[in-house]
Amino acid sequence: MNKQCIYVPFAVLVAALAACSAPAQKDIPALTAGIDAANAGHYRQAIMHEEIAEEKLEEADEALAHWKKDHYWNINDRQKALDAAREAAEHRLASEKEMCQWLTQVHSQNHLKDGSVSAQYSAVFFADGSAVPYKSDEHEIAILGSYLETHPEVTAEVNAYTDTVGSAASNQHLSERRAAYVRDQLIKHGAKLEQLNIKMLGEAHGPDNVRDQSHRTVSMVTVHPTYADCSNLK
């Protein structure tokens, strides 16, 4: 009975010691992948460059303080200090660039940019010789004017045409009147004049003296800029 009581704890102790003496398993690829993942991305890279910049700046500041106090220094110290100041500036700029790229990733989905929002195309049509659209409520113009008001970074191309009935001179004047009417209505509904690129194109291409409803029009196409934070950062 006593032997059994002594034997069982001893066996457990042997097993525990054997487990402790076994070498721990290493997983270098998994750990490396985890570290790389933690260091990935523009935000983390911005922090890393900033940390290096601070270290290099401390070196340069320390050398400057010694020089001002006329402490001993040699030519190697001089070059190291100058290199530290240069590297600090380089890493600070790299940090700012990485941070701007991160901001663009975060913010760009809230802004218009090429490919993210399709250009809006709309048109209003006019009767023969008229500079007033068919529809009295000017629905298309109102929609675009309101859109430009709420998106001041967007511009619109406004192109006015006529068909080929009548003289080229009179049709040029008619296209100018049509463009002016649409311009004024867009501004009435919220657009700014500087958002509008207006072209009075006169007669549309086609055979002379042909009535064509598709040519008695003013087309409007929005132009969306590419969004980027810190666009002036070199």
219 by Cβ neighbours in 10 Å (0-12 / 13-18 / 19+) ranks as: middle
pLDDT value of residue 167: 84
Averaged pLDDT, groups of 10, the chain, 234 residues long:
51 57 73 73 85 92 87 77 91 86 64 51 80 72 85 86 85 89 89 89 80 81 70 67
pLDDT value of residue 216: 81
How would you list the strands of the sheet with 196-203, edge to edge?
121-125, 217-223, 155-162, 196-203
Interacting residues of 53 by C-beta distance below 8 A, sequence separation 6+: 87, 88, 89, 91, 92, 95
Q: What is the pTM of this model?
A: 0.48
Ramachandran area for residue 230 (φ above 0: left; ψ -120 to 50: alpha; else beta): left
22 by Cβ neighbours in 10 Å (0-12 / 13-18 / 19+) ranks as: exposed
pLDDT value of residue 118: 47
pLDDT value of residue 148: 85
The angle subtended at Cα 215 by Cα 211 and Cα 218, nearest 5°, is 140
Pairing between β-strand 196-203 and β-strand 155-162 as defined by DSSP bridges: parallel
What backbone phi and psi angles, to 5 degrees, belong to 30? -65, -45
pLDDT value of residue 54: 93
User: pLDDT tens digit string along 199-224?
Assistant: 888 888 877 877 877 788 888 888 77
121-223 — its CATH code?
A: 3.30.1330.60
User: pLDDT tens digit string along 156-184?
Assistant: 888 888 888 888 888 889 889 998 988 89
Q: Return the structure tokens found at 139.
A: 């629905």
Q: Where in the chain is the domain with CATH 3.30.1330.60?
A: 121-223
Total Cβ atoms within 10 A of residue 70: 7
pLDDT value of residue 15: 60
